[in-house]
Every structure is written in structure tokens, then in C-alpha cells.
Chain A
Amino acid sequence: MEKYFYLVILFPLIGFLVNGLLGSKMKGTTPGLIGTVAVFIPFLIALGVFFNYGHESQPILQNYFPWINIFDFQANFSILIDPLSLQMTLIITGIGSLIHLYSIGYMHDDEGFARFFSYLNLFIFSMLLLVLGSNLLILFIGWEGVGLCSYLLIGFWYKNEDYGYAARKAFVMNRIGDLGLIAGIVLLWSYFKTIEFQAMAIHAANVDMSDPVIIIATLCLFIGAIGKSAQIPLYTWLPDAMAGPTPVSALIHAATMVTAGIYLLVRAHFLFDLAPSVLNLVSYVGIATSIFAAIIALRQNDIKKVLAYSTVSQLGLMFVALGVGAYTTAMFHVTTHAFFKALLFLGAGSVIHALHGEQDIRNMGGLKNEIKSTYWVFLIGTLAICGIFPLSGMFSKDEILTVLFEKSKGLWALSLFSSLLTAVYMFRLLFLTFFGTYRDDEHKKSKIHESPMVMMAPLWVLAILSVFGGILNLPHLIGGESYGKMAHFLDPIFSHSKLATEHMDAGLEIGLMALVVGLVVIIGFVLYNIYVKKESLPKPDMSLRGVEALVANKFGVDELYDTVISKPVLGISRFFGQKVESAFDGISGFFFVAGFKSIGNSLRKIQNGNVEFYLILMTGSIVVLMILQFLIKI
């Protein structure tokens, strides 16, 4: 089975090529089916490998060909199959297939149907490269590849200039991170003379703590992660990325791509272990992002934007977890988050689909009667993300909080706050969308319809996963002997981690759990009171004042970036392009034209056209030369 693992990568690529080159000639949903199959088969393969993969199995390194192989740099095109990558592969291909399936329904009218699936396949391909790459450079291929696909998919409806702008923003923001990643890769190469994860891990065991090179290198990697996982300060692209089709938001901007940063940090944890200061930074950035995004989410009225900020916030939480060395926990949250966020996005997509493109929650309401199935799955998703027992979100989030409580009370408190905010904006979203009465005109209401089966089936699958995802890594308290399956599975990866954690006191754990759940429930009721009972609506953006306006305006970060970065850059560009270039023109003009002209003008006086003058000059100079020759004998 492992022998054929390359097919995991190859199938999406084939799907991409087939759809990309021939898709426009195919009829109906064929491209969709091809795309889905191209992802589903790898899922099956990965699943096969997964079941074969025992606890004692060694990581499998598959080396295909030397990619860059020169005297002082080698990078092979090779993949590494170990628990971490396997898990990621499963998430990617699994959720990927579901979303592909969903997309068949969601995108079926779109003229770029085949193109969409080819992009999706390309994305899966890149993402698989990212997680399977055995060295940083292969990871980087995937890293950039997913960035590209993100760009392509955000700008999928390319006729819209704004979408294009959002796509570019995503790509450029990612690129900023990529630069850090490249720098990190180079630093690591020059330090370890290898960029293979396994080799580096072995070398890293002999490296002192807080080696400056390692610190800088990890910092660089972290910058990469920030870009990809949309953390402060590079998070602004993610909400804008919602311009793409909803399945894209689900797949890329919720479940998979944005977790690449987490994956990177987890993958390179042995380095981060050596740089505690960087880890601290990670957690600070994470918590800041988490709270910041959550606050912004409170005042968003676009159904997808809310989810986007929620994603940013959740990612922040994961980083916090990483920052304290709870890699498994982070991975667990990645997994569960993939389930319920995909669910939520797809649900939102279903809502949008039902409402023929309406995304503003102020124009929704009372949909639970119209689209019941969607309502239910969305509800599950909401409960999961809010951390209601016993849905998967509770376990993962709780695990984070528990770890944090142990490591740092301050971080714990802030994380808790962030989690509660999650509950606030999610319930707000839920209530405003599905409860109450429909707020748009009746004419539209009549057209509301439930999504087709092809869309609903994946939703239900995801809903089930969201509900039972917690099983993957039950806390010892609940799961008993079968606790921490995921942690065990991932154990070989982190066995060297110096920050491995011990499980804390059971009572405390239950207390914390209960506290969180309780608070969430209270919040739920309060919000029910506000939004359903009182039917108070979010005010129009215009009428907002003060902090509210600031929040609704996402704290004006986009504008800030615009004024601080974009405009100056454009200004500098114009300055360079016009002023400096013409100054160069002037200088060259001075040298080539004015300078020569003035020299020429002064020399011209000798060239007065007077032949006798020339002659005398000539004779005189001959005399002088001869005298010189005579005297000096040059």
C-alpha cells in the first residue's frame, strides 16, 4: 500500500490536468465527478496506509528524484509518511472529497465548473505536497501551491475586480510569509546542511537551547506560518478571501490551507522547542489574533465573514496551544476545527445557495423552518464550535484551555475569553439566520429551497464527524483506557519534544470543562433573549458610533494597512518611476548631452574653423612633441 502512495499525490494532479485541459469539453457534472474521484481515491489509499500504520511503524521516506542537486544544496523530490502527515492527508483528502462532492451541487450552474474542479484538484495536490513533503523545500512547493490555488479560487469569478483584488491580497500576504519561510529554509540549510525533517530532527537533538541561528530560523518559519494561517498582522486576507465560492472557503480557508501554518510549526516543533522565546511569541501572537478576530466577528453581518473571523480566531487559539508546546492538542483542534468549520461553511453555503446568493444575515431570519436540514447541521456546527458537550469542539478546545491553565494562567484567561466570544458571535449568527422571522421580502422567500442531496450528504457526514470527532482524542477522564488515541498516534513525532506535557488533575479538568460549558450555555440563553425574543437587529453600519463602529469596521486594519503600506508603496513606486527615473534621465542627459555639449562648447572654440590657426597649432604641437622627445626621450 505504501508503495503506491505516490498515487495520493498523482491522482489530484491528474484530475487537475484532465479537468483543466479537457474539462471545458465535458458535459454536465463529469468534471465534478472526476475531481471528486481524484480526491477520494487518495483518501482511500491514505486510509489503507493509515490502518497499516502501527504504533511501531517507522516513518516511510519515499524518494522520487533529485529536484535541485548542486554542490552546496540538495533537495530531493521525496515524501515522508509518518503519523503527522498521514493524519493531515486524511483530513485533506477526506474533507476534500466531501467538499468536492458538495461543490458538484453548489457550482453546477457555473460556467467555470470544470475550471473550479481543476483548481480544487490542484489545491489538493499542493496541499498534499505540503504535508507529505519530506523536506522544507517540497513543503514550500505545496506552501506556494496552495497560495496559488487560494489566489485562483478567491479570484474564481474573475470578472469581478474586487474579487481579483482580494485574491491578489491573499497571494501577496502569503508571499510575505513565504519570504520568511525561504529565509528560514536557507538558514536551516546553512546550519544543518540539510533540510530534510528527519535529518534535521536528529541534528537538532545536539543543538543548544536558544541558539541564535535557530531562533532566527524559527522566527522566519513562524513568519511563514503567520502568513499562511492568517495571524496578526497578516490576517486581513482571510476575511477578504471569502470572495471565493463557498466550498473554497470551507476547504481552503477553514479546513486545510490555513492550518498549514500550524502544520509547519508542528512539523518543525523540534526547532521551536529549541527556541522558547519564539514559542512565547507564537502564543502571544496567537492569543492576540484570537481575541482580536473574535471581537471583529461580533459585529460582522456577512455570514461568511463571521465564519472567516471565527476561523482566524480559532487558528489563533491553535497557535496559543502551539506556543505552550501542546502540539498534539493543537493538531487535535486542527482536526476538529476542520470538521465543524467545514460544516459551518458548507452550511453557510447551503444557506446562501438557498437564498440565491444572499449573504447578509440582516436579510435572513427564520430559516430553520424553510431549510430544516441545513438548520440542523448548522446548529450542530455552532454547538461544536462553541464547545457544548459532548461535541468535538468541546474536547479540543477544552484540551487547549486545560493545557493553558497549566502553563500560564494569563493565557488561559484570555483564551477563555476568546472562547466565550466565539460562543457569542456564533450564537448571534445562528439566531439571526435561522430564528425569528424572515426579514427580506416575501417574493424571495418563496424561492427559498433546500439544497440538493449532493450537497446535503456531505453536510451530514461532516455533522456526524463534528459530533463524534472528539472520540479521536478523548481526555483520559472520559475516554478511560482509549483516551488520547490521536496523541498516541502522533507520539512518535513528539517523542523528542522537550515540552511534553503531563496530564493534570482530573478534578480541575472537569471543573474547567464545566466552567466553559456553563458559560457558553449562559451566553446562548442571553443571546437567544436578545436576538430571538427581542428580535433586535444589528444596526446598519452607517449608524454605528464609537467602538462599535470601529469593530464593525474591523478596527480599520485594512485602512491602516492601506495608508501605512499600500499607499506609500504606490507613492514610492510613482516617485521612483517618474521622478527618480527622470532624474536618471537627467543625469545621463547631463553626461551624454549637456556634459559633452559643454565640453564640446569649450573645445569648439579651438575648432574655430580657421585653418591657419589649426596649422599653427599643429606645427606648434609637433615642435613641442619633438622637443619632448628630444629632451625626455619618452
Chain B
Amino acid sequence: MLMQINHIVPIEHIITLSCILFCIGVMGVLLRRNAIIILMCIELMLNAVNILFATFSAYNGNPDGQIFVFFIMVVAAAEVAVGLALLVLIYRNTRSVDVSLLDRLKW
């Protein structure tokens, strides 16, 4: 039942879905100033890519893609852990998570 998706849904549609999600993520990153939201949007982008991987994996019958999704998740988890820790730290210092305030890196 489930295994028939590749006969029903054209792969392009899934790819398009992935693209749309990715671009929504990009848009979120660009539009929002809340660092947490931005981080979330990055997660969204990662997920969009994950869909692609999973799709190609399923359509090509090659498990490697799914393994990559797995790795991406690993990296995402690590990224979120560190990123959020950083955010908390930033918040402690600046009382805000507004990215536009984070211009101390400039020299």
C-alpha cells in the first residue's frame, strides 16, 4: 500500500515541496530577527533537504540517502544544542535574541 508512492506521486512534486519548504526557511531566516526563529528556519531548511534525500533514496532504492538524513539529523541536533546554548549566553549578555543587535563581531 504504502510502497506505491513512487508510482503515484511524481518525484518532481516531492522535490518541489522540498524546494518550497527550503525557500520558506530561507525567507524566515531573512525576514525574522529573532535568533531562535532563525535557527528554527534553518532546521526547516535542513528538513527540506532531508525530504529530498529520503525521496531520492526511496526512488532509487539506495539506502545511502536515508543514512545521510540520519547524519543531517545528528548534525542538526548538535547544532541546535550548541546554537541554543550560545543563544542563552547571548541572551544573558544582551537581554535579547535580536540578531541585528549582534554586531559586536565587526571591527
Chains A, B in direct contact (C-beta < 8 Å): yes
Given A604-B106, A604-B107, A607-B106, check contact A612 B100 (CB 8 Å).
yes
Query: A610 contacts which of B26, B100, B107 (Cβ < 8 Å)?
Result: B100
Report the separation of the CA atoms of residues A38 and B107 in the bound assembly, to the nearest whole angstrom: 78
Question: On chain B, which size bracket covers the interface?
Answer: 10 to 19
Contact between chains at A619 and B106 (CB < 8 Å): no
Nearest CB in chain B to that of A605: its residue: B106
Q: In the assembly, what is the distance between CA of A609 and CA of B106, in Å?
A: 5
**Residues from chain B with Cβ under 8 Å of A615 in the complex:** 29-30
Question: What is the bound-complex CA distance between A607 and B29, given in angstroms?
Answer: 18
| Chain B residues within an 8 Å CB radius of A543 | none
Question: Does chain B have a CB within 8 A of A608?
Answer: yes
- Smallest beta-carbon distance B37→chain A, Å: 12
Q: Is the CB of A612 within 8 A of B106?
A: no
Contact, CB under 8 Å: A610 / B103: yes
Chain A residues with CB under 8 Å of B104's CB are: 609
Instruction: Give 14 A-B pairs besides A609-B104, A609-B106, A619-B26 with Cβ atoms closer than 8 angstroms.
Output: A604-B107, A607-B106, A607-B107, A608-B103, A609-B102, A609-B105, A610-B103, A611-B99, A611-B102, A612-B30, A615-B29, A615-B30, A616-B30, A619-B30
A-B contact pairs, 14 of them (CB 8 A): A604-B107, A607-B107, A608-B103, A609-B103, A609-B105, A610-B103, A611-B99, A612-B30, A612-B33, A612-B99, A615-B29, A615-B30, A616-B30, A619-B26
A residues less than 8 Å from B33 (CB atoms): 612
Which interface class (under 10, 10 to 19, 20 to 34, 35 or more) fits A? Answer: 10 to 19
* Number of inter-chain CB pairs below 8 Å: 26
Question: Which residues, 4 to 48 on B, are CB-close (under 8 Å) to A?
Answer: 26, 29-30, 33
Nearest residue, chain A, Cβ from B31: A612
Q: Beta-carbon contacts of B80-107 to A below 8 Å, as 1s and 0s?
A: 0000000000000000000110111111
**Which chain A residues (585-604) contact chain B, with CB distance < 8 Å?**
604
- Complex contacts, B102 vs chain A, CB 8 Å: 609, 611
Interface string of A597-634 (1 = CB under 8 A from B): 00000001001111110011001000000000000000
Give Cα A619 to B104, complex, Å.
22
Interface residues of B (CB under 8 A from A): 26, 29-30, 33, 99-100, 102-107
What residue in chain B is nearest A611 (Cβ atoms)? Answer: B99
B107 contacts which chain A residues (CB < 8 A)?
A: 604, 607
Per-residue B-contact encoding for A294-320, CB less than 8 Å = 1, 0 else: 000000000000000000000000000
B26 partner residues in chain A, CB cutoff 8 A: 619
Minimal beta-carbon separation of B22 from chain A (angstroms)? 11
Measured between beta carbons, the chain A residues less than 8 angstroms from B99 are 611-612
Collect the chain B residues with CB atoms within 8 Å of residue A611's CB.
99-100, 102-103
* Chain B residues within an 8 Å CB radius of A608: 103, 106
The smallest C-beta distance from B98 to any residue of chain A, in angstroms, reads 10
Bound-state Cα–Cα, A619 to B100, Å = 17
A611 to B34, CA, bound (A): 11
Instruction: Note all chain B residues with C-beta closer than 8 A to A610.
Output: 100, 103
Closest to A606 in B: B106
Could you tell me the distance in whole angstroms from the C-beta of B33 to the nearest C-beta in chain A? 7
A612 CA / B26 CA spacing, docked (Å): 12
Question: In whole Å, how far is A605's beta carbon from the nearest beta carbon of chain B?
Answer: 10
- In the assembled complex, which residues on chain A have CB atoms less than 8 Å from the CB atom of B100? 610-612
In angstroms, Cα B37 to Cα A615, docked, is 14
A385 to B86, CA, bound (A): 102
A612 to B102, CA, bound (A): 10
Select from chain B the residue with minimum beta-carbon distance to A623: B26
A window 225-279: CB within 8 A of B: none
**Set of chain B residues within 8 Å of A619, measured between Cβ atoms:** 26, 30
Residues of B within 8 A of A604 (CB): 106-107
User: How many Å from the CB of A148 to the closest CB on chain B?
Assistant: 60
Closest 7 CB pairs of A and B: A609-B103, A609-B106, A611-B99, A607-B106, A615-B30, A609-B105, A615-B29
Complex interface: chain A residues within 8 A of B30 (CB): 612, 615-616, 619
- Kindly state the separation between the CA atoms of A604 and B105 in the bound complex, as whole angstroms: 11
Q: How far is the CB of B3 from chain A (nearest CB, A)?
A: 35
User: A616 to chain B: which residues have CB within 8 Å?
Assistant: 30
Complex CA gap A608/B102 in Å reads: 10
**A610 vs B105: C-alpha distance in the bound complex, in angstroms?**
9
Chain A residue contacts of B103, Cβ below 8 A: 608-611
B40 to chain A, nearest CB (A): 15
**Chain A residue at smallest Cβ distance from B105:** A609
Closest residue to A607 on the B side, CB-wise? Answer: B106
CB distance from B18 to the nearest CB of A (A): 16
Bound CA span A341–B23, Å: 106
- Complex Cα–Cα for A318 and B30 (A): 97
